[in-house]
Amino acid sequence: MQAVLEHSPPAGATARTTKRTGFLLLSPSVLILLVWSIVPLIMTLWYSLQNYNLVDPTLHGFAGIDNYWYLLTDPDFLHALLNTLVLVAGVLVISIGGATLLAVLYDQEFFGRGIARIMVISPFFIMPTVSALLWKNLMLHPIYGVYSAMMRAVGLTPIDWLARFPLMTVMMIVAWEWLPFAVLILLTAVQSLDGEQREAARMDGAGPIARFRYIILPHLGRAISVVVMIETIYLLTIFAEISVTTAGGPGVASTNLAYLIYSRALLQFDVGGASAGGVVAIVIANIVAIFLVRAVARNLEA
């Protein structure tokens, strides 16, 4: 595949038409995505250099790098940055680790497997606002939540999870939403492992653990790359779950970059500061993207 992707089209007449057709077919998507990614970026850059606060119109004019300076020296910023990375990494580890095991489990034949599988993937269809509300109120509410009731039933004192462990709790909620997606993809991958390969491993006397380690895991490499790629895209920008459950608090304990910028822009009406945050978020996203693309792209091709 590499070879085909990288050979440049030859330069004859029909090749030129092919090249032109290919370009023409591709260009609508490329153009609108270019506009979509460039125009707002330039505008954000521009605002980030301005004093621009919606509630204080007296404050205006060129700000230089003040907004950035203000942001980067703000301890909240570092905190939010760290929270973002913890969230992304934590959810990736939980969802991929869990999904790998679940994929092997739901690959086994058992009574009612079809229904059990549908139940497992269901959280993927639930909108983030709903799952956040669901967990915050029905499940984890310190008085009325089901989990609190269960803890009381076994003689423990219920914990106010969102107040005590805000980041971890948000992470669990998000992992609950994204685990099914990883299961969907990894299960398909496990099932595509052909019977002969497994039989051969069994003939070689490989036990279940060795089979998992040497046959199944290597086979899942590409599928895991896909999950990492897609989930990271979404996890970098988690917003609704935080907004609904903790509103970033207490303090900034569960504030990620997306939420920090949001609270600057819409809650403090500081367009300039929010834009500077936006630029920083974009830069960070790009750094992550470069690493991710480097690590994953090789796996995605071929």
Partner 1 sequence: MATVELKNLRKTYLTEEIIKGISLSIEEHEFVVFVGPSGCGKSTLLRMIAGLEDITSGDLLIDGQRVNDVEPGKRGLAMVFQSYALYPHMNVYKNMEFGLKLSGMPEAERRAKIENVARTLQLEPYLNHKPGQLSGGQRQRVAIGRAIVRNPKVFLFDEPLSNLDAALRGQMRVELSALHRKLGATTIYVTHDQVEAMTMADKIVVLQKGVVEQIGSPLELYHHPRNLFVARFIGSPPMNFFSAIFQGGDAAGSSVQLRDGSTLYVPVTSPGLLPGTKVTVGIRPEHVELASSGPNSGVVEVIERLGAITLVHVRMPDGEIIVVQTDGAVLTDVNSPISLTLPPRNCHLFAPDGLAFEACHRHPLAA
Partner 2 sequence: MALKAKTSTRIGVTILGWGIALWLFFPIFWMILTSFKSEVQAISTPPKLFFMPTLSSYAEVFERANYWHFALNTVTVSVAATAIAIALAVPAAYSMAFMPSKRTRGTLLWMLSTRMLPPVGVLVPIYILARNTHLLDTCTGLAIVDMLTNLPIIVWMLYTFFREVPAPILEAGRMDGATRWQEMTMVLLPLALPGIASTALLSLILCWNEAFWSLNLTSSHAAPLTAFIASFSSPEGLFFGKLSAASTLAVAPILVFGWISQKQLVRGLTFGAVK
Ligand X SMILES: Nc1ncnc2c1ncn2[C@@H]1O[C@H](COP(=O)(O)OP(=O)(O)OP(=O)(O)O)[C@@H](O)[C@H]1O
Binding region for partner 1 (CB under 8 A): 7-15, 18
Q: Is the dihedral of CA 281, 239, 237, 29 positive or negative?
A: negative
Strand 50-52 to 60-62 pairing: antiparallel
> What is the number of other CB atoms lying within 10 angstroms of the CB of residue 54?
11
Give least dist CB 18 to partner 1, A. Answer: 7
Query: Left, alpha or beta for 29 (phi > 0: left; psi -120 to 50: alpha)?
Result: alpha
Q: Residue written as tokens 């003040």?
A: 66
Q: How many residues bind partner 2 (CB under 8 A)?
A: 111
Scanning residues 135 to 164, which ones bind partner 2 (CB under 8 A)? Answer: 135-139, 143-144, 146, 149, 152-153
Residue 24 or 58 having the CB closest to partner 2: 24
Give least dist CB 130 to ligand X, A. Answer: 50
101 and 190 in contact (C-beta within 8 Å)? Answer: no
For residue 197, state whether it binds partner 2 (rule: CB under 8 A): no
Give least dist CB 267 to partner 2, A. Answer: 12
43 and 279 in contact (C-beta within 8 Å)? Answer: no
Site string for ligand X, 90-129 (x = CB under 6 A): ----------------------------------------
2, 5, 6, 7: residue in contact with ligand X (rule CB under 6 A) = 7
Site string for partner 2, 237-276 (x = CB under 8 A): x-xx---x------------xxx-xx--xx----x--xx-
Integer CA distances (angstroms), 87 to 199, 237, 238, 260, 287, in order: 40, 10, 9, 14, 17
